[in-house]
Amino acid sequence: MHVRLWRQELSLASPVRASAQVHTSRPHLFLEVEIDGVRGLGEISPQPTSLHGDPGVDDVIVELEHFTVRQFVEAALREGRTPEWSRVTHFAGSRRASYPASALLEMALLDAHLRAERASVEQQWPEHVDTPVQSTVSLLDDNVWDVRDDAAQVRAKVGAALIDEAQWLRLSTLGLPVLLDFNCAAHDLGDVVALTTRAQSYVDVVAVEQPFAPGNVVEHARLAGVLDVAVSLDEGVRHRRDLDQIARYGAASIVCVKPARVGGYAQARTMIERARTLGLGVYLGGFFESPLARRANRALARHCVSLPSDIGEVALVAADVLAPDPWGCGYLPGPDLESMQTLVNRQW
């Protein structure tokens, strides 16, 4: 088994301001595995630094090199064969970076598996649903908005501060339902209720997302009891036990499942089914992935998710880091990625 890891910073064509940071670019980790001559490529785009429970990119690199890959290789040596891609999450530890590191390795192995079978990710998860596309904008600055023509819903970044009327009017011109994304920035219930009420005078608000800290199911449950729109949770959704707690307290009626946050695609699909069993609506979320991970996300969403999801392409100012390919998740390392110095380049 040969493993190569690259880190590449890709700029967004339209910066997005959230409550705690401005996304002008995003680190991307690309992992290539080669097993019996077959290459597979995976990708995640971690936070630059730790935020709201998500690890920073440097933490993920350490986790991947010193724990995730080593544990997987040790299992392969014990068993005398390479474990299935869907088992990678079982090797994840309890550290904050364990799940995104596992998601990266899992995707590379899935890609290699599909290539060995001469199959595509769309064959892995056949399309059953015409999943609507969600686009993301920010009401916290005046940057240009990247809203896809086929968007069925908009996620609007907001915070605790008041939003200028000009921004609400700008949002209303889109004519789309809106999810208000607080990114854990709200101070109290009054802030959320007041901002939501004001927003409703301009747009159709379908939900408010993650006003309070991850794990704070009590305050979210209180909010759900007074709001006349749905509460959605994002940063607070990392494991199946989070879903159980959300349902138990009535903290939300919608959850966002992000494959890179929960440990990969196998875990994401399990959590999607668990959410449905608990009576929760679910949509597939993303970070700022390149076309590689976006294609895999889109395939999974169209297989089993009906709510508007983050499956549209992100407008990136990207070099030739990817080369289109008919198999697997649709891409192999491009010229610029191949020529970059690798962070990890090891043979087991």
CATH code of the domain covering residue 296: 3.20.20.120
Flag whether pLDDT at 319 surpasses 80: no
Report the domain count for the chain.
Answer: 2
Q: Which domain holds residue 68?
A: 2-122+322-347
What's the token pair of residue 92?
Answer: 């994840």
Are 170 and 180 members of one domain? yes
Are 37 and 73 members of one domain? yes
Are 225 and 149 members of one domain? yes
Are 298 and 336 members of one domain? no
Averaged pLDDT, 233-245: 97
For residue range 23-55, list pLDDT tens digits in order: 999 999 999 999 999 999 999 999 999 999 999
Are 171 and 305 members of one domain? yes
CATH code of the domain covering residue 93: 3.30.390.10
Q: How many CA atoms lie within 13 A of 276 on its CB side?
A: 10
pLDDT at 320: 85
What's the token pair of residue 210?
Answer: 């993650």
Amino acid identity, residue 347? Answer: Q
Give me the residues paired with residue 232 across strands.
209, 254
Beta-carbon contacts of 58 under 8 Å, excluding residues fewer than 6 positions away, are: none
Averaged pLDDT, 245-271: 98
Are 51 and 139 members of one domain? no
Decide: residue 297, CB within 10 A, 0-12 exposed, 13-18 middle, 19+ buried.
buried
pLDDT at 218: 97
Are 263 and 152 members of one domain? yes
For residue range 112-128, list pLDDT tens digits in order: 999 999 999 999 999 99
pLDDT at 336: 87
* Spatial distance between the Cα atoms of 76 and 82, rounded to a whole number of angstroms: 5
Q: Are 89 and 105 in contact (CB under 8 A)?
A: no
CA 156, 196, 173, 311 torsion-angle sign: positive
Flag whether pLDDT at 87 surpasses 90: yes
pLDDT category at 162 given cuts 50, 70, 90 is confident
Beta-carbon contacts of 315 under 8 Å, excluding residues fewer than 6 positions away, are: 12, 13, 14, 146
Amino acid identity, residue 282? Answer: V
pLDDT at 338: 84
| Residue of 115, 138, 139, 114 lying closest to 124 (CA atoms) | 114
286 phi/psi in degrees, rounded to 5: -145, 175
Are 118 and 133 members of one domain? no
Are 160 and 207 members of one domain? yes
Amino acid identity, residue 224? Answer: A
Are 130 and 140 members of one domain? yes
Are 151 and 223 members of one domain? yes
Are 202 and 310 members of one domain? yes
For residue range 198-214, list pLDDT tens digits in order: 999 999 999 999 999 99
pLDDT category at 331 given cuts 50, 70, 90 is very high
Q: Are 293 and 44 in contact (CB under 8 A)?
A: yes
Predicted TM-score of the model (pTM): 0.96
* Spatial distance between the Cα atoms of 57 and 48, rounded to a whole number of angstroms: 5
